[in-house]
């Protein structure tokens, strides 16, 4: 049994090193313009260790949950290297009722509160649903924060488990700096076509909105 376990550990470590090597080549190829979407939600010491661990890859962004607290955010910022720290506020899969049960208030108010805390602790940006962008853009003190929005669903894509969504064009017009778009591109409806077609449609919508 001991020998089997030792072989398993050795194999797992070898696979991990191989995967890390692939990641390094990928990051090098794309010029480190990568968002490390780790969503860390842990104690300050663990968050600090995670921030240090990814620095050899030097991602453009990495994120930590605002709900992890001020100390965790502070440690992430202190160990961010050349990366930018983004704070996750309220997940886009959480509707107002669930937000009330978790955070004691509606998404709009919780997001504003978290955004203020993230700014105070030196974070570079926030991650929120596009539905909170308008109210955030009305807060002068928050304008220096980058605003990154998941929950992006083109009119032709299913919302799936996302609750607080907007189309790409709507999010851009509302003031998003970056859009996080996953399944509409990786798993587009059959009638839309391939992921490449889906990405092109979204790019056209964004370009139109920017005009």
Q: Which of 127, 119, 129, 120 is nearest to 147 (CA)?
A: 127
H helix or E strand, kind and range, residue 36 = strand 35-40
Round to whole Å and give the CA distance between 31 and 114.
31
Round to whole Å and give the CA distance between 3 and 108.
55
Q: What is the pTM of this model?
A: 0.81
31-210 maps to which CATH number?
Answer: 3.20.20.70
Q: Where are the domains of the chain?
A: 1-30, 31-210
| CB-CB contact of 83 with 123 (8 Å) | no
pLDDT tens track for 21-57: 777 777 677 666 889 999 999 999 999 999 999 988 8
Q: Is 71 a catalytic residue?
A: no
Q: Which DSSP string do the residues of 152-206 spell out, in sequence order?
A: B--TTS--TT--S-B-HHHHHHHT-SEE---HHHHS--TTT--HHHHHHHHHHHH
pLDDT in tens, the chain (211 residues): 455 555 545 556 667 777 777 777 776 776 668 899 999 999 999 999 999 999 888 899 999 999 999 999 999 999 999 999 999 999 989 999 999 999 999 999 999 999 999 999 999 999 999 999 999 999 999 999 999 999 899 988 877 777 888 899 999 999 999 999 988 898 888 888 899 999 999 999 999 998 8
């Amino acid at each position: 049994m001991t020998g089997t376990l030792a072989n398993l550990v050795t194999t797992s470590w070898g696979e991990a090193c191989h995967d890390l090597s692939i990641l390094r080549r990928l990051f090098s190829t794309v010029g480190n313009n990568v968002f490390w979407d780790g969503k860390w939600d842990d104690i300050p010491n663990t968050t600090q260790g995670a921030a240090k661990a990814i620095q050899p890859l030097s991602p453009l962004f990495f994120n930590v949950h605002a709900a992890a607290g001020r100390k965790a955010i502070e440690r992430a910022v202190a160990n961010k290297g050349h990366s930018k720290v983004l704070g996750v506020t309220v997940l886009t899969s959480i509707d107002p009722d669930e937000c009330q049960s978790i955070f004691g208030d509606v998404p709009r108010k919780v997001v504003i509160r978290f955004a203020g805390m993230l700014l105070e602790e030196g974070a570079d940006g926030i991650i929120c649903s596009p539905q909170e962008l308008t109210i955030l853009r009305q807060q002068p003190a928050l304008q220096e924060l980058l605003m990154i929005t998941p929950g992006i669903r083109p009119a032709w894509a299913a919302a799936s488990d996302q609750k607080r969504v907007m189309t790409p064009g709507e999010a851009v017009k509302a003031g998003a700096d970056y859009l996080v778009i996953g399944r509409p591109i990786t798993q587009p409806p059959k009638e839309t076509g391939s992921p490449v077609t889906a990405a092109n449609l979204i790019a056209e919508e964004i370009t139109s909105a920017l005009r």
